[in-house]
A and B are shown apart, each in its own frame.
Chain A
């Protein structure tokens, strides 16, 4: 009896808190959408449709299959680019963190890549790699890889020396130092880099589809803009923002669950 009362006592505040958070989230979303609706109805510009028209266009392109088909096309270079960037990015990052020579050879390249204005450089990619899938995958990698590499490198470099000393004092081999100490300790920051890399990859694919050849999402944006169908254009852009947001938060959940169990609520 005493146990059940105690359980009821803790369950209610948690549920109330959740309801509160949900309430304020919904209110903030409603406020933004309401402001959008008003701005569209004034209108701020003839090229800025109200939320209602955009939502109607969104339902339209989902029902007629345009948007799902576009996502299938866009996801191909995006997923390829992200997998390549994640695998090679983490590998290079760890290598640079462990070896001074690798750091000397590679760090400047990635720092320059991160600082360079990629939107201006992507058209140059077409001169070398043409206009096909390779150029788009490369555009995703150009944006995603530097973030992943540099985060991984910093994460490995800043692993606490006392942890490494401890491993050595227990006669840990260099391989054990990497697998048992460095990677687990660097995990959270590496994962944060991966999350940022995925977000950057989305920018890369949109730039590629707008600047190289309009396919998938880029095609809907370009075409609807050229025929002044702005609700469809905004619906596509908004869907992309939501999609990117959801992907990044899923990654965050994965991170909390597997890499940082201590953060689990």
Chain B
């Protein structure tokens, strides 16, 4: 009996220590789950490349694609993901959800467009119908802002979600004035050259997407956050330097291999235009992005209150960005 027990105990000890060693190794290197509330397309390619590069630096990254930004926010807040993509200002302010934005991925890029047969300028839209994405959206904030700046008042603002749906409705003549995104601007230009007029927007800057995480996660995982921000900065700067970069890296990492040919052809022109328009900022946003966001999102209704009295530290943790900029140079 004794002869049988000792080897069993010895084996059990070896197995246990192995398990605990593997467990400890995993505990040192936990997977960082990234919640992305959209279907990744051409515009997400830079983001996917950055994730691949972070993986190359030995970090475990798992991308979760969800239906909407709201779900990504909930996943991060509930601890089902570590990092989210979006601008969850409303839950942070209204519900006190302890999230912090820490890297500005992209700035809003929208194009007010009108049917040239009916309107030519912003002034022509005085007393006319205007269509935006949804109530409280960035597109509505742009419409409000443009009406203010041009001294006009729309007869009504109606809501049609989806840039592609609005673009289609413009082509069919169901609507005459709206706002579309870059991809659908190009779609309208290619389908009906000269039919539509894109109105000037002036200087409107705000975050479209940012990386965010739980405040306590950012504090406890400063090194991880620093590494992530560094890689994003490097990729964003490479895109700015060479718009072909994304197409090349896509081949290297075999990203979105099922992308249709017409969208593949769109990659280089898209990133060229985006780089010129500074859609992907090369400094992660910094304090400037925060104050621009406060000004913009108070108009959209996502944030309440006077933009000048809002505190950056209640919404952003600029620590990882400052450290990365100090390392890489601003």
Minimum CB distance partner of A47 in chain B: B74
Docked Cα-Cα span, A43 to B311, in Å, equals 27
Docked Cα-Cα span, A46 to B88, in Å, equals 13
Contact partner of B174 among A127, A131, A215, CB < 8 A? A131
Known: A130-B174, A223-B134, A229-B94. A214 touches B161 (CB 8 A): yes
Contact call A126/B134, Cβ cutoff below 8 A: no
Docked Cα-Cα span, A214 to B135, in Å, equals 9
Docked Cα-Cα span, A130 to B74, in Å, equals 32
Contact call B169/A226, Cβ cutoff below 8 A: no
Q: Mark out the residues of chain B between 132 and 170 whose CB falls within 8 Å of any chain A CB in the assembled complex.
A: 134-137, 158-161, 165, 168-169
Known: A131-B174, A214-B134, A226-B135. A219 touches B159 (CB 8 A): yes
Minimum CB distance partner of B92 in chain A: A228
Contact partner of A227 among B90, B160, B165, B174, CB < 8 A? B90
B4 within 8 A of A: no
Q: Mark out the residues of chain A between 20 and 57 whose CB falls within 8 Å of any chain B CB in the assembled complex.
A: 45-47
Q: Mark out the residues of chain B between 73 and 124 whose CB falls within 8 Å of any chain A CB in the assembled complex.
A: 74, 77-78, 88, 90-91, 93-95, 97
Contact call B161/A213, Cβ cutoff below 8 A: yes
Contact call A46/B135, Cβ cutoff below 8 A: no
Interface of A is mostly: loop
Residues 117-145 of chain A, each 1 if its beta carbon lies under 8 Å from chain B, else 0: 00000000011001110000000000000
What's the interface size class on A, roughly? 20 to 34
Q: How many residues of B contact A (CB 8 A)?
A: 26
Residues in B neighbouring A127, C-beta threshold 8 A: 168
B129 within 8 A of A: no
Contact call A130/B159, Cβ cutoff below 8 A: no
B172 within 8 A of A: yes
Residues in B neighbouring A126, C-beta threshold 8 A: 165
Residues in A neighbouring B165, C-beta threshold 8 A: 126, 131
Docked Cα-Cα span, A219 to B158, in Å, equals 11
Contact partner of A223 among B91, B93, B95, B136, CB < 8 A? B136
B302 within 8 A of A: yes
Contact call A227/B158, Cβ cutoff below 8 A: no
Docked Cα-Cα span, A227 to B161, in Å, equals 16
Contact partner of A222 among B74, B78, B135, B301, CB < 8 A? B135
Residues in A neighbouring B93, C-beta threshold 8 A: 228
A225 within 8 A of B: yes
Residues in B neighbouring A45, C-beta threshold 8 A: 74, 77-78
Docked Cα-Cα span, A229 to B91, in Å, equals 8
Minimum CB distance partner of B94 in chain A: A228
Known: A213-B160, A222-B134, A222-B135. A227 touches B301 (CB 8 A): yes
Residues in B neighbouring A226, C-beta threshold 8 A: 70, 90, 134-137, 302
Known: A223-B135, A226-B135, A227-B302. A46 touches B174 (CB 8 A): no
Residues in A neighbouring B77, C-beta threshold 8 A: 45-46
Residues in B neighbouring A215, C-beta threshold 8 A: 159
Residues 65-76 of chain B, each 1 if its beta carbon lies under 8 Å from chain A, else 0: 000001000100
Residues 189-211 of chain A, each 1 if its beta carbon lies under 8 Å from chain B, else 0: 00000000000000000000000
Contact call A131/B169, Cβ cutoff below 8 A: yes
Contact call A213/B302, Cβ cutoff below 8 A: no
Minimum CB distance partner of A130 in chain B: B174
Q: Can you give 5 A-B contacts (C-beta < 8 A)?
A: A132-B174, A213-B161, A226-B70, A227-B136, A228-B90
The 10 closest A-B pairs by CB, nearest first: A228-B90, A228-B91, A223-B135, A227-B90, A228-B94, A226-B136, A46-B97, A46-B95, A227-B136, A130-B174
Residues of A within 8 A of B (CB): 45-47, 126-127, 130-132, 213-215, 219, 222-223, 225-230
